């Protein structure tokens, strides 16, 4: 891991942004700093989550799918429902379920309610793995140990407004 910089590169980029485009509304500089910070935070969080999940042969996207199956009353969900809940394309769901199936953590079964559909079903091994992986993520506070509970709630509330505005769900 490289040594930390002695300056905030995103803040510096914001200053340079305002020098190069001085006629913009001041809010645009705050927007640039915020979006760049969010994107960097996503990189940091995904790297940390994937590292924590690596011993379980999981990525965060595979973990999310296993959690969904765990939360399901039957341990099974149609692939389309997984995509809808995770808000990802059907191709991504297929890839995730392929990987889970290859690892013995889930299996595909015909959907008895839809002759053309397929269910992803969590296996007993999948239940054991998701429980152990969840304990590890709890131990690491999902990579958000730098924030206190009030900050986490404020962050959730702020980002929720973005998700509502994007049409993810109705508020």
Tens digits of per-residue pLDDT, 116-157?
889 999 999 999 999 999 999 999 999 999 999 999 999 999
Task: Tell me what pLDDT residue 24 has.
Answer: 74
Q: Is residue 2 part of a domain?
A: no
Task: Tell me what pLDDT residue 94 has.
Answer: 95
Looking at residues 90-95, what average pLDDT do you find?
93
Residue 102: give its domain's CATH number.
1.10.10.10
Helix (H, G, I), strand (E, B) or coil at 139: helix
Report the half-sphere exposure of 120 (CA within 13 A, side-chain side).
Answer: 31
Cβ neighbors of 68 (< 8 A, separation 6 or more) are 77, 82, 85, 86
Q: Is residue 86 part of a domain?
A: yes
Q: Is residue 138 part of a domain?
A: yes
Q: Is residue 171 part of a domain?
A: no
Whether pLDDT at 57 is above 90: yes
Task: Tell me what pLDDT residue 15 has.
Answer: 87
Q: Is residue 33 part of a domain?
A: yes
Q: Is residue 170 part of a domain?
A: no
Q: Is residue 1 part of a domain?
A: no
Whether pLDDT at 70 is above 80: yes
Task: Tell me what pLDDT residue 51 has.
Answer: 95
Which domain range does residue 149 map to? 9-165
Number of domains in the chain: 1
Q: Is residue 40 part of a domain?
A: yes
């Amino acid at each position: 891991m490289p040594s930390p910089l002695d300056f905030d590169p995103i803040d510096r980029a914001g200053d340079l942004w305002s020098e190069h485009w001085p006629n913009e509304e001041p809010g645009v500089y705050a927007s640039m700093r915020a979006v760049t910070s969010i994107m960097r935070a996503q990189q940091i969080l995904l790297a940390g989550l994937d590292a924590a999940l690596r011993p379980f042969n999981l990525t965060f996207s595979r973990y999310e799918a296993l959690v969904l199956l765990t939360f399901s009353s039957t341990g099974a969900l149609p692939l389309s429902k997984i995509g809808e809940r995770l808000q990802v394309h059907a191709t991504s769901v297929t890839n995730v379920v392929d990987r889970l199936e290859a690892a013995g953590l889930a299996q595909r079964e015909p959907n008895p309610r839809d002759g053309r559909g397929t269910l992803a079903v969590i296996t007993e091994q999948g239940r054991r793995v998701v429980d152990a992986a969840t304990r590890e993520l709890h131990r690491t506070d999902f990579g958000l140990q730098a924030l206190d509970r009030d900050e986490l709630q404020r962050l959730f509330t702020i980002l929720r407004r973005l998700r509502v505005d994007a049409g993810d769900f109705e508020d």
